[in-house]
Structure 1
Amino acid sequence: MNEQQFPDNFLQTLSAENGFDQENFIKAHQITDAPTSIRLNPFKRPSLKTDERVAWCSDGFYLNTRPSFTFDPLFHAGCYYVQEASSMFTDHILKHIRPNIDDTIKVLDLCAAPGGKSTLLNSAINAEDLLVANEIIKTRVPVLTDNLSRWGQANVIVSNNDPKDIGRLKSFFDIILVDAPCSGSGMFRKDPQAMNEWSEANVELCHQRQERILADILPALKEDGYLIYSTCSYSHQENEDILDWLCLEFDLESIRIPIYKEWGIVETQSPDKKAWGYRFYPGKVKGEGLFASCLKKKTNTGELGTFKNNIHQKISSKEIDQVKAYVNKPDDYYYFKVNEDWLAINRAHKESLNILQRHLYLKKSGVRVGKLMGKDLIPDHELALSTIINKDAVLQTELTYDQAIQYLRRDNIDLNPTEKGWSLMNYEGQALGWAKLLPNRINNYYPKEIRIFSSPSPPAP
């Protein structure tokens, strides 16, 4: 790739940016293969061979080669997430600001799909903390829900709402992450097609949309709460100009995040309010383009009213005891029903769940345990992948690699079970889902909507 292949005026718009090295930038984009990086799930502790660590994220690693993740059962088990390394910087920001909040926290990931930053946030907070992962675009919600279900934690709620709707939850959140929709120039190396959509006019439209989103959501942030703002754009209008606008219009205080020189991250300041920002340039960092920043809210925009009545249906203690049998440390959770499905969420989040259900459209709350049919539980796929499951209460079947692929394809599995009933289907000790073992066959209950359709390529001769 040479200078002429970038969009018109693109390089010129970056020429005055702090730390921008045009020759190095062009050279980095001539590399055809962008770095491949993954982030391990700390709740599942997989046995994976990893290579170089991502400097700003303790669970992040670069891979020397890009494998076929589709045909890795451990990927489907939620043992890791394939995430671009620069975007893992959110972990470093969160670990810097979290000690400043003494109490348990509620975190919002506003523009959450497909789930990279949500699973990262979920890894960085405590079980007593709550993560709300919101996706504005309805068609993108299923992939977000699937990825968080694979991650396996019960302190997560997924919603599908406009920022203005969430903004009515005044002073509800301690931390809000807005990874804003942007012009996408930071993804040019990874996705060259993004160049066809870039223009100075589109940058300006993105700037206006970012202001609108931030203005709508800020009432939901508590006084002394933190806003993490990021884009995958290099454009000043979408980054430093937004910081100046936030400080001027909403009196936010910029937070300086400590970084190390050897990381290659460029620290910047906005022109007027000198708000701190962090730019990631391919060639300087081993990752794609990113801008990140953190600000603290210094004003109170009101409080949300309280509600005494629980909106969940009354349920019998006998049924709860049946469900509890399948949950590890069962008294740590609050149990409720949505239609016929039983769900469990960390007990500390009962009140927050009640509030959110009154105000938002929720797509996932905690872990879906399953349906009760008489004395039996029909277990849900979420329970299989969760970290709350009581594995002593269920059968478990260890699969070979070939059997695991058959299972993920919903094919017949070549097994001769000696026991009957619902069984976790495991690969290297990690749960993939459920099957029902019968005397003459195995019923494969891996969800149809996420099954693998293709087959692994045969090894080279």
Structure 2
Amino acid sequence: MTNVKNIQNFGRSFRLVAPFQVKENTEKEHEIIRSQQKNIEALLSAEGFKFEPDALAFFKTQSGSATFIRRLSYEPLPLGRSLAAKFGLIYIQDRSSMLPPLALNPSLGSLVLDMCASPGSKTGELAQLIGSEGLVIGNEPGKNRLPVLRSNLTHLNLWQSVTSSYKAEAYPLSSGLLEYIQLDPPCSGWGTLDKNPKVMELWTVEKTNTLVHLQRILLKEAVRLLKVGGRLVYSTCTTNIKENEEQIVWAKEQLGLKLIPLPTLSEFNQSEAYLAESSGVWRINNIENNEGKKTEQNGQGFFVALLEKTENVVDSSNDKKIEFFKEYKKQAVENIEINLSALEEFGYDISRLGQGSLAVFGKEVHLLPYKARKLFAEETIDWRGLPIGKYGNFGVKPLNSLRRFMPSLEEAEKNNQALSLTSTEDLKKLLTGLSLDSGPLSADAKFVFLYYNDLALCRLIKKGKRLLFGE
């Protein structure tokens, strides 16, 4: 059993997002990631940020540990304005919000559905845990919130993610296909009281009845989608027993789910479950500690439970809705597929795409992971891989920020296509629209890739002897 100790009560938490993602869980791969994480830390330190590994970074996972979690102790400017943030190398996230993916703990290369995904904090964390050969489906029911989800995942280069937008009460996927599901349903948000002082006035106990009903529908649908032996993490940012412990008891009794006890989180402001039948859940409180004093920066109030499907309960109540979605999709216009070599023409290393492919949706080119195409082949579900560029009469115009598919610094230097900077001032100049001299790079070099030390950042626009940042 894992004990998470010595968590400091200051600063904010964030994730390091290395361009390289684990594939086979080898020591060599972890060495590459550690090297890239050190370079991201060096970039942060060069701007004056101070931080340390969060205790959650030592949480044991099936792919090793969550080594990407850091705890901020000093910021000379807002962390979101840092160079690392602008290049998609970090993601700021409440530390309590990091707990559900760690509790679910999906295996490397596995398939995960995030039923209510936007803005994508937990979706992205799951993508880091499953590695480059896994697949996370980020489903966001709210059409207006879907662009935020896609934008965040794209900015972080987490290409093992795809998105969809369906009401999670009837997700149009066949029963028993999924290994892991993350369900973070709409809730009253009482755990965010420090940030939202009027939240308990907005969501009184009486008003939460509608939420409780919706949460049970979502739990029931999650069970239908899971394989026998599959696991579901249920989480909320509320302290309401009706939305937390009572839901777990209901899920055990009515859906046949088994509650898997979670390890103790030492130094988190954790309390025992309010009901004995739900013992083994994580209940994180941030309002008052045992002495009745307010706690600061210890993560928002959160509830997390890990459940396992132990039997195959057939429920056909959503069959008609699902068939409707499938018939509707059959009438949709088929997308245009593009050869992967279209990216190679711009200097990107297509071997890093695995068996993925490209397709055009409207005026955008999207990456379609092989695992997603295989899963959805017979499902006719409306889904999208992440956008990697534009498409038009000019053909394919990929984003310059495809760090995951950039050649290594050594490879780029061999082709006279690399600019490696050690000065943050030069990086800031590029981001403010100023250009840099191409220096010794040959005039006929078609592509120039930018690195901080040997950390891939982006592809630069080359105009004569000047280098510019931009899409």
TM-score range, shorter chain: 0.7 to 0.9
For residues 214 and 111 of structure 2, the distance between their equivalents in structure 1, rounded to whole angstroms, comes to 25
Distance 1:442 1:331, change over 3 A: closer
- Identify which of 60, 67, 72 aligns with 1:63: 72
Alignment of 1:135-154 (within 5 A): 135-154=140-159
CA displacement 1:185-236 (0-9 Å, x = unmatched) = 1111133353442312232222122122223343211111111000000000
Tell whether the 8 Å contact from 1:86 to 1:288 is kept in structure 2 after alignment.
yes
Tell whether the 8 Å contact from 1:167 to 1:219 is kept in structure 2 after alignment.
no
Q: Any idea what SS the aligned residue of 2:262 has?
A: coil
Tell whether the 8 Å contact from 2:338 to 2:360 is kept in structure 1 after alignment.
no
For residues 290 and 434 of structure 1, the distance between their equivalents in structure 2, rounded to whole angstroms, comes to 40
1:390 corresponding residue in structure 2: 407
- Identify which of 34, 38, 47 aligns with 2:41: 47
Alignment of 1:339-418 (within 5 A): 339=361, 342-355=365-378, 358-360=380-382, 362=383, 364-365=384-385, 368=388, 378-381=397-400, 384-391=401-408, 392=411, 395-398=417-420, 400-405=423-428, 407-408=430-431, 411-418=432-439
Q: Which amino acid aligns with 1:352?
A: L
Tell whether the 8 Å contact from 1:41 to 1:80 is kept in structure 2 after alignment.
yes
Q: Unpaired runs of 5+ in structure 1?
A: 1-32, 447-461
For residues 70 and 260 of structure 1, the distance between their equivalents in structure 2, rounded to whole angstroms, comes to 28
- Identify which of 289, 295, 312 aligns with 1:300: 312
1:77 corresponding residue in structure 2: 87
Q: Which amino acid aligns with 1:290?
A: F
1:453 corresponding residue in structure 2: none
For residues 469 and 342 of structure 2, the distance between their equivalents in structure 1, rounded to whole angstroms, comes to 27
1:289 corresponding residue in structure 2: 301
Report the Cα offset of residue 438 of structure 1.
Answer: 1.1
Verify: 1:186 aligned to 2:180, yes or no: no
Q: Any idea what SS the aligned residue of 1:300 has?
A: coil
Verify: 1:335 aligned to 2:393, yes or no: no
1:28 corresponding residue in structure 2: none
Alignment of 1:241-252 (within 5 A): 241-252=246-257
2:24 corresponding residue in structure 1: none
For residues 347 and 166 of structure 1, the distance between their equivalents in structure 2, rounded to whole angstroms, comes to 21
Distance 1:171 1:406, change over 3 A: farther
Report the Cα offset of residue 291 of structure 1.
Answer: 0.4
Report the Cα offset of residue 349 of structure 1.
Answer: 4.0
Verify: 1:220 aligned to 2:225, yes or no: yes
For residues 59 and 352 of structure 1, the distance between their equivalents in structure 2, rounded to whole angstroms, comes to 29
CA displacement 1:375-421 (0-9 Å, x = unmatched) = x863224xx2442333546844456545544544xx53132235454
1:278 corresponding residue in structure 2: 282
Tell whether the 8 Å contact from 1:385 to 1:431 is kept in structure 2 after alignment.
no
For residues 364 and 74 of structure 2, the distance between their equivalents in structure 1, rounded to whole angstroms, comes to 42
Distance 1:83 1:316, change over 3 A: closer
Report the Cα offset of residue 296 of structure 1.
Answer: 0.5
For residues 404 and 380 of structure 1, the distance between their equivalents in structure 2, rounded to whole angstroms, comes to 18
CA displacement 1:253-299 (0-9 Å, x = unmatched) = 1111122544442242645x446321101255822100000101122
Verify: 1:445 aligned to 2:463, yes or no: no
Q: Unpaired runs of 5+ in structure 2?
A: 1-8, 21-35, 43-49, 60-65, 290-294, 317-321
For residues 393 and 448 of structure 2, the distance between their equivalents in structure 1, rounded to whole angstroms, comes to 17
Verify: 1:156 aligned to 2:161, yes or no: yes
TM-score norm. by structure 2 comes to 0.72
